[in-house]
Amino acid sequence: RLSERNCIEIVTKLIAEKQLEVVHTLDGKEYVTPAQISREIRDELHVCGGRVNIVDLQQVINVDLLHIENRANDIIKSEKTIQLVLGQLINESYLDQLAEEINDKLQETGQVTISELCKAYDLPGDFLIQALSRRLGRIIHGQLDQENRGVIFTEAFVSRHRARIRGLFTAITRPTPISNLISRYGFQEHLLYSVLEELVNTGRLKGTVVGGRQDKAVFVPDIYARTQSNWVDSFFKQNGYLEFDALYRLGIPDPAGYIRKRYKSTQLLFLRAACVGQEIVDQVEASVEEAISSGNWIDVATLLPSSLSVEDVGILLQQVMRTLNKNSSSLVFSDTIVVSEKFLSSCADLFSDMMQQKAEKEMKNNPVNLITEEDLKQASGLENSYANKKDKKDERRKKAT
């Protein structure tokens, strides 16, 4: 019979000659083969329900952690049903059991989020999505949101929300921010947008979503758009102009763009805060032209709607004056008043007698200001003398050169 010391020497020599592959236990009392380590890892994984931490295996198998990690990597390579996730061995049976638990919760609540599952089971989101996706329709009776792959719904949950969304949005008669509806009625944001797009695209909901999937997204029902368009058309037909502020109040965010798009074939003049039709422009042109040709004046503001600002009236008048090309025979005062040159001349004639009388009176009161014929002759003589001197200087300069 060999002693313990002899056995150790023999095993040590076999290990040195690489005829035997064994591992010391942490307490140094036993040798363990790699195959035994692998067997114990599988057994412990089964006992723990298909999920075990490698660090915990060290205490059970009683060998260095390095050997356990090496054997675990070999097991993963040889068996496709076992995975290493965050330092833990997980097999397919555990994932099936996990899917059953998630399905029970899903059927109870109607939806589960991957973020909640990550916290509950301490597993990464990408791993869970991959594992659960393979079990949808088989163990998990639900569907993964294609837009937001972080949520799983049941068909009943989706149908219930589709009915709520359809009913709510059918009742809307004016532009409504979608974020307000989400917070008020507790809709799941990504599900609401997905269902809403589906209902609008299929024609089940009559309206449009403006702003995409953003916080400022607004649902505009067709009935409101029709009412809006009817009001704009009616007002323009009756008045011949449109105010941008009025369109803002109707809920049109870009009045100028809306008008250009709606009245593509209509000739319009865009001002600062409004636009006017060709009828108003023609009316102003005719009135201005008549005032100029008749030697009169006109205040254009009296021809236009009172809601137009002085600035807008001025812009309109400038356009009219460029079209008529009457700037040489008229003047514009205070941005809105056109006065013909004939009218200005007639006004000046009214003051000619008065100015003559004032001048005569002033000369009598201040004779020093009176210019006689003798003064005019002297002034003329001085000018001639200066001109002669200048001519002589020029002649001398030419001779010198």
Q: What is the pLDDT of residue 102?
A: 94
Q: What is the mean pLDDT of the chain?
A: 84
Q: What is the pLDDT of residues 348-369, one digit of tens each?
A: 777 777 777 787 777 777 665 5
Split at pLDDT 50, 70, 90, the class of 173 is confident
Higher pLDDT, 358 or 282: 282
Split at pLDDT 50, 70, 90, the class of 189 is confident
Is the Cβ–Cβ distance between 182 and 192 less than 8 Å? yes
Question: Which are the contacts of 133, defined by CB distance < 8 A and separation ≥ 6?
Answer: 144
Give the CA distances from residue 90 to residues 26, 52, 131, 209, 328, in Å, rounded to whole numbers and listed in that order.
25, 7, 11, 45, 94
Is the Cβ–Cβ distance between 241 and 280 less than 8 Å? yes
Split at pLDDT 50, 70, 90, the class of 1 is low
Q: Is the pLDDT of residue 148 over 80?
A: no
* Domain ranges across the chain: 4-79, 94-153, 165-224, 261-387
Split at pLDDT 50, 70, 90, the class of 400 is low
Q: Is the pLDDT of residue 239 over 70?
A: yes
Amino acid at 113: T
Q: What is the pLDDT of residue 263?
A: 92
Strand partners, 268: 277
Q: What is the pLDDT of residue 323?
A: 85
CA–CA–CA angle 9, 15, 20 (5° rounding)? 115
Please say whether the dihedral angle defined by the alpha carbons of residues 51, 145, 215 and 171, taken in this order, is positive or negative: negative
Q: What is the pLDDT of residue 385?
A: 59
Report the distance separating Cα 81 and Cα 93, nearest Å.
9
Q: Is the pLDDT of residue 386 over 60?
A: no
Q: What is the pLDDT of residue 25?
A: 76
Task: Supply 328's token pair.
Answer: 């040489």
* Assigned CATH topology for domain 94-153: Arc Repressor Mutant, subunit A (1.10.10)
Q: Is the pLDDT of residue 293 over 60?
A: yes
Q: Is the pLDDT of residue 376 over 60?
A: no
Q: Is the pLDDT of residue 326 over 70?
A: no
Mean pLDDT of 136-159: 86
Question: Which are the contacts of 222, defined by CB distance < 8 A and separation ≥ 6?
Answer: 206, 207, 208
Q: Is the pLDDT of residue 283 over 70?
A: yes
Mean pLDDT of 209-229: 83
Q: What is the pLDDT of residue 118?
A: 93
Q: What is the 3-state secondary structure (H, E, C) of the chain?
A: CCCHHHHHHHHHHHHHCCCCCCEECCCCCCEECHHHHHHHHHHHHHHCCCEEEHHHHHHHHCCCHHHHHHHHHHHHHHCCCEEEECCEEEEHHHHHHHHHHHHHHHHHHCEEEHHHHHHHHCCCHHHHHHHHHCCECCCECCEECCCCCCEEECHHHHHHHHHHHHHHHHCCCCCEEHHHHHHHHCCCHHHHHHHHHHHHHCCCCCEEEECCCCCCCEEEEHHHHHHHHHHHHHHHHHHCEEEHHHHHHCCCCCHHHHHHHHCCCCCEEECCCEEEEHHHHHHHHHHHHHHHHCCCEEEHHHHCCCCCCHHHHHHHHHHHHHHHCCHHHEEEECCCEEEEHHHHHHHHHHCHHHHHHHHHHHHHHCHHHCCCHHHHHHHHHHHHHHHHHHHHHHHHHHHHC
Lowest mean pLDDT among 115-119, 198-202, 393-397: 393-397
Within 10 Å of residue 112's Cβ, how many Cβ atoms?
Answer: 22
Split at pLDDT 50, 70, 90, the class of 236 is very high
Please say whether the dihedral angle defined by the alpha carbons of residues 374, 379, 382 and 387, taken in this order, is positive or negative: negative
Q: Which of 106, 109, 190, 178 is nearest to 145 (CA)?
A: 190
Within 10 Å of residue 9's Cβ, how many Cβ atoms?
Answer: 12
Give the rounded percent of residues in the chain with a pLDDT score beyond 90: 38
Within 10 Å of residue 113's Cβ, how many Cβ atoms?
Answer: 15
Give the CA distances from residue 134 to residues 80, 114, 349, in Å, rounded to whole numbers and listed in that order.
15, 15, 101
Split at pLDDT 50, 70, 90, the class of 276 is very high
Report the distance separating Cα 99 and Cα 104, nearest Å.
9
Higher pLDDT, 384 or 35: 35
Report the distance separating Cα 45 and Cα 175, nearest Å.
59
Q: What is the pLDDT of residue 280?
A: 93
Q: What is the pLDDT of residue 144?
A: 86
Q: What is the pLDDT of residue 93?
A: 94
Mean pLDDT of 373-385: 59
Higher pLDDT, 30 or 202: 202
Q: What is the pLDDT of residue 209?
A: 86
Q: What is the pLDDT of residues 46-97, one digit of tens each?
A: 999 999 999 998 888 888 888 889 989 999 998 889 999 999 999 999 999 9
Report the distance separating Cα 106 and Cα 113, nearest Å.
10
